[in-house]
Amino acid sequence: MNLINKFGSVGSRIKLWGLHGLALLLLCLPLPGLQQGGLAQETKTVVFAISPRLDLNARKEFAQAFFDSRDGVLQSSLVRGKSRILCIDGYTLRPVADFMGGGNALNRQRANQAESTKLINFLKSPGGAENDAALDIPGLAQALPGMRLEKAHVILVGNPMYLDSRKNGDNRGDEYFDMSAGFVPGHGLFRSPRDLSVYSVEGREKNLTSIAFSFVIPTSTKFLDSTHEQATKNTWSLYTSLQGGVLVGWWTSTKFAIEQAIRGDTKPLAQVVFDPSEEDIMLRKVADDIKAEKKVNRRERPTNQHVNRQCAITMLVLCTGSAADEVRRSPAIDVLKKRGAKIEMMLSLPATVEEFEEKLASTTQLWVWAGANPRCLPADFRDAIVKRNQAGLALYLLADNSPYVNGVREILAQLAPGSSIEGDYEGDQIITAAKNRDSAGFDKSHPIFMGIINLYEGNTVSSPSGGDLVTIARASNGLPLLALVKREPGKQSGPVLVSGGFTSLFQQFWNTAGTERFAQNVSVYLAGVEK
């Protein structure tokens, strides 16, 4: 007795069984529709990147269309033996199922039956809430060259708005790049350095050559308005074209996307031209008039061009002996130079405070490395630093375990009355994103920790506390490790970051988790943080 006789019509069983029953029935029924068509000669592989967070209706729609057309895609007379359907998790990029055409019919049937079971199990996942069918589109674009696909058509099934901040579970997320709430990336994000933007195509100009893309968008997806949807479409059209690919489809039906892949369509969905004058790294909120592209409510970060143009860093080294040698050899200095920053080492104070003030006038950031001598920074030099900060000079105050807090402690107390930095904790641990504001770890929502999963806290550390300090990272003992001085609204004073673990930037610890990226992020944040 077959399944139809035993359980009744397909329609009634879908209602009873839901998605699982649908997929099982489809596997056992003759497959109608596109069986005789096969892939166009221009297309050899169809890749489905499927969000694991599809709602139930979207999973049903995908399963129906996929199993209706699966064998038709694989049984191509033009590319027999080479056609392939690859299904991957569009969020984690892990493989789900791999269907092959050609070869012995019985062996192929058995193999594809096993792959079908894998896909069914994937589609039985709990799914997500409305508008949460997230896809890691930039991650997929980076992974595709390693798959060695030839003349592929990639069908992305899920929400086309990049929702990176939803990746809280694995600490991969950065809410800054989230395209929901009406935001889309400005063109500067595409040409920015890869370590500053998930949308960067730097060095990837040929990554997507001969690959066509189309989206299948769940009906539960909620754009801010039609303008936001059009801007999102333009975003991925430009993103793929800058890497040699082409966006050809924007569907709400999986069936239509598959038919397009079978035809081998390569006509661009939209012609979007890169604007070289838009160099800011920003997400902009689209206005009602898509042609005007008004840059309102924008989330902006300093670009590498900002650093190249205006980042002059003076390293004021108040420590002496072996500690000063370690500062001088810090790999952070070479990294910042490669990023375009001009670095000046000040291993001793000038003879007069007037000379010191002249040097401060020509720098945009002052990194002060604390000393062990209580008299390492005379009061008049300290006053000059505070005065210059009030005029906009960015400060990075670097201390370590006591007594390597001198100089920095006095500057901090003057900038934030009631604050201090003390301690002698032997850290030497790796910290990750904090579970809550009082636990060890860093605030992953802060731009200083953009792209950082793990961070070395330093060999020995002190702790900044008191006054108007905002803690953005806590050491493994739960005490503050990194803090910002709270800035008064309307004031022109520069940002002030204070660290209790400067040994993290020493050569011997440099390759420990997150250090290089952290040093870059600090310089970029201080160069262009919103005032």
Please state the rounded mean pLDDT for residues 401-422.
96
Residue 31 lies in a domain: no
How would residue 310 be classed by pLDDT, with cut points 50, 70 and 90? low
User: In whole angstroms, how far apart are CA 447 and each of 10, 94, 202, 415?
Assistant: 52, 28, 21, 23
Top pLDDT among 362 and 527 is at: 362
CATH number assigned to the domain comprising residue 209? 3.40.50
Residue 32 lies in a domain: no
Handedness of CA 357, 358, 361, 362 (dihedral sign): negative
Residue 194: per-residue pLDDT: 73
289 plus 333 within the same structural domain: no
Please state the rounded mean pLDDT for residues 216-236.
90
The 10s digit of each residue's pLDDT in 125-141 is: 766 555 578 898 998 99
282 plus 350 within the same structural domain: no
Amino acid found at 267? K
Give the pairing of strands 183-185 and 281-285. Answer: antiparallel
Residue 23 lies in a domain: no
158 contacts 218 by C-beta, under 8 angstroms: yes
Amino acid found at 487? R
Strands (E), 135-199: 152-157, 183-185
For 182, residues 6+ apart whose C-beta sits below 8 A from its C-beta are 224, 225, 228, 285, 286, 297
153 contacts 216 by C-beta, under 8 angstroms: no
Please state the rounded mean pLDDT for residues 52-81.
74
Handedness of CA 464, 467, 472, 478 (dihedral sign): positive
User: In whole angstroms, how far apart are CA 501 and each of 19, 254, 360?
Assistant: 54, 53, 24
CA distance 352 to 362: 16
Q: b vs e for 371-401, b when ≥16 Cβ sit within 10 Å of the residue's Cβ?
A: bbeeebbeeebbebbbebbeeebbbbbbbbb
463 plus 485 within the same structural domain: yes
Q: b vs e for 249-258, b when ≥16 Cβ sit within 10 Å of the residue's Cβ?
A: bbbeebbebb
216 contacts 62 by C-beta, under 8 angstroms: yes
Residue 104: per-residue pLDDT: 67
Residue 146: per-residue pLDDT: 85
283 plus 334 within the same structural domain: no
Residue 239 lies in a domain: yes
How would residue 333 be classed by pLDDT, with cut points 50, 70 and 90? very high
319 plus 350 within the same structural domain: yes
390 plus 414 within the same structural domain: yes
The 10s digit of each residue's pLDDT in 229-285 is: 999 999 999 999 999 999 999 999 999 999 898 888 889 998 888 887 666 666 677
301, 336, 357: which is the final residue of a domain? 301
Please state the rounded mean pLDDT for residues 63-91.
73
Please state the rounded mean pLDDT for residues 345-354.
95
Residue 308: per-residue pLDDT: 37
76 plus 49 within the same structural domain: yes
Q: Please tell me the total count of domains within the chain.
A: 2
301, 328, 345: which is the final residue of a domain? 301
Please state the rounded mean pLDDT for residues 16-24.
46
How would residue 376 be classed by pLDDT, with cut points 50, 70 and 90? very high
340 contacts 304 by C-beta, under 8 angstroms: yes
Is residue 31 predicted with pLDDT exceeding 70? no
Is residue 178 predicted with pLDDT exceeding 90? no
Least confident of 19-28, 118-127, 150-159, 438-447: 19-28
272 plus 412 within the same structural domain: no
207 plus 331 within the same structural domain: no
275 plus 314 within the same structural domain: no
Query: Which residue is listed with tokens 């143009």?
Result: 309
496 contacts 397 by C-beta, under 8 angstroms: yes
Residue 501: per-residue pLDDT: 95
How would residue 27 be classed by pLDDT, with cut points 50, 70 and 90? very low
CATH number assigned to the domain comprising residue 456? 3.40.50.880
How would residue 409 be classed by pLDDT, with cut points 50, 70 and 90? very high
How would residue 293 be classed by pLDDT, with cut points 50, 70 and 90? very low
Q: Which of 106-120, 178-192, 391-405, 479-493 has the highest mean pLDDT?
A: 391-405
Residue 21 lies in a domain: no
Q: Mean pLDDT in the chain?
A: 80
For 351, residues 6+ apart whose C-beta sits below 8 A from its C-beta are none
CA distance 319 to 361: 23
Q: Quick one: what percent of the chain has pLDDT higher than 70?
A: 77
Top pLDDT among 30 and 175 is at: 175
Residue 24 lies in a domain: no
Top pLDDT among 279 and 471 is at: 471
Residue 278: per-residue pLDDT: 66
Residue 30 lies in a domain: no
Q: b vs e for 205-231, b when ≥16 Cβ sit within 10 Å of the residue's Cβ?
A: eebbebbbbbbbbbebbebbeebbbbb
Residue 6 lies in a domain: no
Query: Which residue is listed with tokens 């720098």?
Result: 363
Residue 296: per-residue pLDDT: 31
CA distance 495 to 474: 19
327 plus 288 within the same structural domain: no
* Domain enclosing residue 334, as ranges: 306-528
SS (H, E, C) 64-123: HHHHHHHHHHHCCCCCCCCCEEEEEECCCCCEEEEEECCCCHHHHHHHHHHHHHHHHHHH
Q: In sequence order, which ranges of 391-505 are alpha helices (DSSP H)? A: 408-415
* 353 burial type by CB count under 10 A (0-12 exposed, 13-18 middle, 19+ buried): middle
* 468 burial type by CB count under 10 A (0-12 exposed, 13-18 middle, 19+ buried): middle
455 contacts 443 by C-beta, under 8 angstroms: no
Is residue 438 predicted with pLDDT exceeding 50? yes
Residue 168: per-residue pLDDT: 42
The 10s digit of each residue's pLDDT in 446-457 is: 889 877 888 999
256, 278, 301: which is the final residue of a domain? 301
How would residue 472 be classed by pLDDT, with cut points 50, 70 and 90? very high
Least confident of 93-102, 190-199, 225-234, 263-272: 190-199
Please state the rounded mean pLDDT for residues 150-161.
90
Residue 399: per-residue pLDDT: 97
Please state the rounded mean pLDDT for residues 29-44.
41
67 plus 96 within the same structural domain: yes
CA distance 42 to 61: 27
Residue of 33, 31, 65 lying closest to 48 (CA atoms): 65
- C-alpha radius of gyration, the chain, whole number: 28
17 contacts 8 by C-beta, under 8 angstroms: no
User: In whole angstroms, how far apart are CA 85 and each of 68, 222, 429, 519?
Assistant: 14, 29, 45, 43
For 212, residues 6+ apart whose C-beta sits below 8 A from its C-beta are 43, 152, 153, 154, 245, 246, 247, 248, 261, 265, 266
Q: In sequence order, which ranges of 188-342 are alpha helices (DSSP H)? A: 188-191, 226-241, 254-263, 304-310, 321-328, 331-338
